Chains A and B, each alone.
Chain A
Amino acid sequence: LAKTTQPISMDSYEGQEVNITCSHNNIATNDYITWYQQFPSQGPRFIIQGYKTKVTNEVASLFIPADRKSSTLSLPRVSLSDTAVYYCLVVLGNYGQNFVFGPGTRLSVLP
């Protein structure tokens, strides 16, 4: 049975770099891996999306190894406002897409 896993929680201090890894098997060959941020009582907010190797935007980087069985979201120099739950979203199965969110990682940024 296809499954996506993430660490349940992580703590960090302001100004540090945070790396959150999502492990996923049976990922669809031609589809993207996407990461979202969610605050309480809000819908998930798009952070970054990638297909392979490395992608960087103004807020994060995403590292995807060649086998695509995992992906790592990197948040440089986190601040208190980055305290949130972070989810990976993958497409599982090449025949009929099934969007699967990871269980989420609760990141707490401490002063």
Chain B
Amino acid sequence: KAGVTQTPRYLIKTRGQQVTLSCSPISGHRSVSWYQQTPGQGLQFLFEYFSETQRNKGNFPGRFSGRQFSNSRSEMNVSTLELGDSALYLCASSPDVGGETQYFGPGTRLLVL
């Protein structure tokens, strides 16, 4: 089976812009979670989607949002980018919601200038 794929792999944006990142889960996996990784804060949970519904949400401002499509593919959007949003954004998929083994993609590295 193909692994989790994320596009784009690298992205440069300027403050105030918005960005959309995409994640395709492993075939058959129905849950997709998103994480932000920075040197200072480590890996932080953003949100989890299952069956097109957000099931869990971490402690991030409303500028961070996401959605999931009927084929389980997911997108996350960050609006009004700030310098502090520069990070590696990781997507993980699992067969079912919450707690099961999550398989991570390679991430999208976002640089905000």
Contacts and interface: CB of A to CB of B under 8 A. Distances in A.
A38 B33 CA distance: 17
A99 B106 contact: no
A6 B12 CA distance: 33
Nearest to B42: A103
Which 5 residue pairs are nearest across A and B when measured between Cβ atoms?
Answer: A43-B104, A101-B43, A31-B99, A99-B45, A97-B98
A42 B48 contact: no
A91 B98 contact: yes
The bracket for how many chain B residues form the interface is 20 to 34
Query: SS class of chain B's interface: helix, strand, loop or mixed?
Result: strand
A13 interface: no
A75 B41 CA distance: 26
Interface in B23-57: 33, 35, 42-45, 48, 55-56
A44 B58 contact: no
A3 interface: no
Contact of B48 (A30, A89, A99): A99
B65 interface: no
B102 A34 contact: yes
B66 interface: no
Contacts of B103: 46
B90 interface: yes
